[in-house]
Amino acid sequence: MPPKTQIRKDEWEKRLHDVDLSKQDLNQLVMDYLVIEGFKTSAEEFSKEAGLNAPVDLESIESRMTIREALQRGDVGEAITRVNDLNPEILDTNRGLYFQLQQQKLIEFIRQGRIAEALEFAQEELAPRGEENPEYLAELEKTMALLAFESSPSAPAAITDLLSPAQRMKTASAVNAAILESLSQGKEAKLVGLLKLLSWGESMLDERAHFPKVRLISLLPLFAHRVN
């Protein structure tokens, strides 16, 4: 195997600074990030300062954040109502997402100790869907297992994790992605995708050369300079 090429720090930094990035492209990246992540006020201000048209109706950002906040506090009913108010086709055409929301509602019943309601809800709302889809049935069985392992230190993590904040976030993220898709908007900020690509590119280059790894914080001055 041939020895790795050595790239000096000054040479590497020069290559980075020589990359041709337009202010317009960077502004679009920033706007995309603000919209996807739900920073409505910042998106409005940046739109004015940069002279950009927002890719979506900025009012939809507030709706998405309200839905996400409802799910994060466990109010699945409100979230479903608001999704339907925003666009009823989102849940009508996405059975998997609707089941995920119903599963989350069942989890919230169990979390609150409303066992009778949980059993009734599971039987009437989720069991019929489980009979139609083996994947749904497996998720339903896993959720109902919370009753058997309640407060048990031996409960599998895959089951107890359903009661974690991360489970609520998972559901909220799925709903957020579906709303963005309905608006013909990407599910993930392009900036996040670029950072993943940067990480992949570095790992590939590392096999052939010694070079200064890019520290994201070191890119901030260059980024800020080209955006402003």
Q: Is the pLDDT of residue 218 over 50?
A: no
**Can you give the pLDDT at residue 128?**
92
HSE, CB side, 13 Å, CA atoms: give it for residue 115: 6
- Residue 137, token pair as written in the block: 């049935």
- When pLDDT is cut at 50, 70 and 90, the band that residue 217 belongs to is very low
DSSP 29-94: HHHHHHHHHT-HHHHHHHHHHHT---SS-THHHHHHHHHHHHHHTT-HHHHHHHHHHH-THHHHS-
Q: Enter the pTM of the model.
A: 0.71
Long-range contacts of range 116-125, CB-CB < 8 Å, 24 or more positions apart?
118/147
Burial class of residue 176 in the structure, from the number of CB atoms within 10 Å of its CB (0-12 exposed, 13-18 middle, 19+ buried)? buried
Q: Is the pLDDT of residue 9 over 60?
A: yes
Mean pLDDT across the chain: 83
Q: Which of 34-38, 89-93, 126-130, 173-177 has the lowest mean pLDDT?
A: 34-38
Find out whether 16 and 214 touch, Cβ atoms under 8 Å. Answer: yes
Q: Is the pLDDT of residue 108 over 90?
A: yes
- pLDDT one-digit tens code per residue, 145-164: 998 876 566 778 888 899 99
- When pLDDT is cut at 50, 70 and 90, the band that residue 220 belongs to is very low
- Give CA–CA dist 137/112, Å, rounded: 23
**Can you give the pLDDT at residue 49?**
85
Amino acid at 119: L
Highest-scoring range by mean pLDDT, 21-35, 47-61, 107-121: 107-121
DSSP state at residue 26: H
Q: What is the mean pLDDT of residues 45-49?
A: 85
Q: What is the mean pLDDT of residues 87-103?
A: 95
Give 206 or 74, the one with higher predicted confidence.
Answer: 74
